[in-house]
Chain A
């Protein structure tokens, strides 16, 4: 399966850089601060989990990185350049699987190849051949081989989330942005998908920014965990997870792991007050 355990970032170059970036929605008295000026740097190939109470601005950071919104002040750089320059290819998955209901799973997963260069260029020519094989190979890797021609409503929540991961990865993104992708799933499915995601990550080595409420999810998957305080959000803790990867799912029951998540839990409990 995946490459050997790597505990140091393989690309010491910057992936995401936030320089005092803030986001304010609205103006005047109705203005809502979604993110107070925040500075954060992430290296290429790293896996960072962002945890914190609701409404602290975690998702806002993700939306900044995906170029869905612009910072009200400060700066965000992707791969050392302005986010709009599309220096990094982005794949994103939300908590809601957001499969387009009129397309089969295969065509949903193929969508990025239709939109993102350099795949877009030869989409018309390749969609029945090379791209289709590519989609099927990835679907097979997450156990959805037989569901390529199904429609989204014919799949369970866990399967949809697998397809969602496939769609976020099909175009080999440099940067994978995950917004609580497993939040709505049951514990068993969630753990299964953690392993799937770990495999895919070690296999392809993208830069991953994961926003989550789940401390065990953060601890199991990430190489680095940042904790944000409640509104107005601010990064109050930034620590590395040194356990070697790939990690066995049993790791979450080891004393070392439990101690780490306990520490994070207490930290978040404090900042909620």
Chain B
């Protein structure tokens, strides 16, 4: 058995152990279902209520991914703009830092005021919350590109665009993917947050409604779904990262094409 398999098995045992502990502690201490339902109860709720939950899952996924996609497009554009120009970097950075230090929770009421409740504020919150890590990472990656590497292209008479395309952007990919993994989880936070405050659809809304009806196991079922979706998307981007930026980690198991 090699090191990796061992780590995987241990990681799996940790997860299983966590739920077993939870179950056992609930039974031993006689914790009320209204405070903390047992994992087995939550699983049953998930199973029986799944047909009802499914549209909400899709709704949350839709809002998150749309917001995330918009955030990536905007984040990459701004990042490229300020990362390729020393002047733009200096001029725009203070404003960006100011924007990024606003707690995004505080923006939701404004978005609801402008766009009403529903899907739009959820998408926009997901977008706003994930833009800044992407901008900062892209800009940093581009701004720290080794001049030697750029000179290789410049001596060949390459245009600015060709230098960006062949050196700047590939060089920035590790930074970009690092930011994507942060951004996708943040997008979830944004979408659910907005759904909780102002929507009648989505997992956030389901949890809010269930909570006010004291359907505690349903609230926890919502949490489970969010965790699962978060893990799945994180894993997806990790996989993509390993494929695209294997050169940076000198990975041995990515394909040489």
A40 within 8 A of B: no
Q: Which of B10-18, B129-137, B147-155, B183-191 lines the interface with chain A?
A: B147-155
Known: A104-B256, A114-B166, A115-B162. A94 touches B157 (CB 8 A): no
- 6 inter-chain pairs at a CB distance below 8 angstroms, sorted by A residue, are A66-B155, A68-B155, A102-B170, A104-B256, A115-B166, A149-B256
Measured CB to CB, the closest approach of chain B to A64, in angstroms, equals: 12
A86 neighbours in B (Cβ, 8 Å)? 157
Q: Which of B127-185 contact A (CB under 8 A)?
A: 146, 148-149, 151-158, 162, 166-167, 170-171, 173
B248 within 8 A of A: yes
Interface residues of A (CB under 8 A from B): 66-68, 86, 90-92, 94, 96, 98, 100-104, 111-112, 114-116, 149-151, 153, 167, 171, 177
Number of residues in B with C-beta < 8 Å to the partner? 22
Known: A101-B247, A102-B247, A149-B256. A67 touches B167 (CB 8 A): no
Cα A171 to Cα B158 in complex, Å, equals 14
Measured CB to CB, the closest approach of chain A to B189, in angstroms, equals: 32
B6 within 8 A of A: no
Known: A67-B157, A115-B162, A149-B256. A100 touches B152 (CB 8 A): yes
Q: Which of B73-118 contact A (CB under 8 A)?
A: none
Interface of chain A, helix or strand or loop or mixed?
Answer: loop
B250 within 8 A of A: yes
Measured CB to CB, the closest approach of chain A to B87, in angstroms, equals: 18
Cα A112 to Cα B171 in complex, Å, equals 18
Q: Are A68 and B157 in contact (CB under 8 A)?
A: no
Q: Which 8 A-B pairs have the closest CB atoms?
A: A92-B155, A102-B247, A66-B155, A115-B156, A115-B158, A98-B148, A102-B170, A101-B247
Q: Contact partner of A96 among B148, B162, B173, B248, CB < 8 A?
A: B148
Residue of A67, A91, A101 ringed by the most chain B CB atoms within 10 A: A101
Interface residues of B (CB under 8 A from A): 146, 148-149, 151-158, 162, 166-167, 170-171, 173, 245, 247-248, 250, 256
Cα A112 to Cα B154 in complex, Å, equals 11
Q: Are B153 and A115 in contact (CB under 8 A)?
A: yes
CB-CB nearest in chain A for B250: A153
Q: Are A116 and B152 in contact (CB under 8 A)?
A: no
A167 neighbours in B (Cβ, 8 Å)? 152
Q: Are B158 and A101 in contact (CB under 8 A)?
A: no
A115 neighbours in B (Cβ, 8 Å)? 153, 156-158, 162, 166
Measured CB to CB, the closest approach of chain B to A101, in angstroms, equals: 5
A68 neighbours in B (Cβ, 8 Å)? 151, 154-155
A151 neighbours in B (Cβ, 8 Å)? 247, 250, 256
B151 neighbours in A (Cβ, 8 Å)? 68, 92, 94, 98
CB-CB nearest in chain B for A116: B156
A67-B155, A96-B148, A102-B173 are known; give 14 further A-B pairs, CB within 8 A: A66-B154, A90-B157, A100-B166, A102-B245, A112-B156, A115-B156, A115-B158, A115-B166, A116-B156, A151-B247, A151-B250, A153-B247, A153-B250, A171-B156
Q: Are B157 and A116 in contact (CB under 8 A)?
A: yes
Q: Are A177 and B155 in contact (CB under 8 A)?
A: yes
Measured CB to CB, the closest approach of chain A to B170, in angstroms, equals: 5
Measured CB to CB, the closest approach of chain B to A169, in angstroms, equals: 12
Cα A67 to Cα B148 in complex, Å, equals 14
B170 neighbours in A (Cβ, 8 Å)? 100, 102-103
B162 neighbours in A (Cβ, 8 Å)? 115
Q: Are A90 and B156 in contact (CB under 8 A)?
A: yes
CB-CB nearest in chain B for A100: B149
B247 neighbours in A (Cβ, 8 Å)? 101-102, 151, 153
B148 neighbours in A (Cβ, 8 Å)? 94, 96, 98
Measured CB to CB, the closest approach of chain B to A117, in angstroms, equals: 9
Q: Are A98 and B157 in contact (CB under 8 A)?
A: no
CB-CB nearest in chain A for B244: A102
Cα A219 to Cα B23 in complex, Å, equals 82
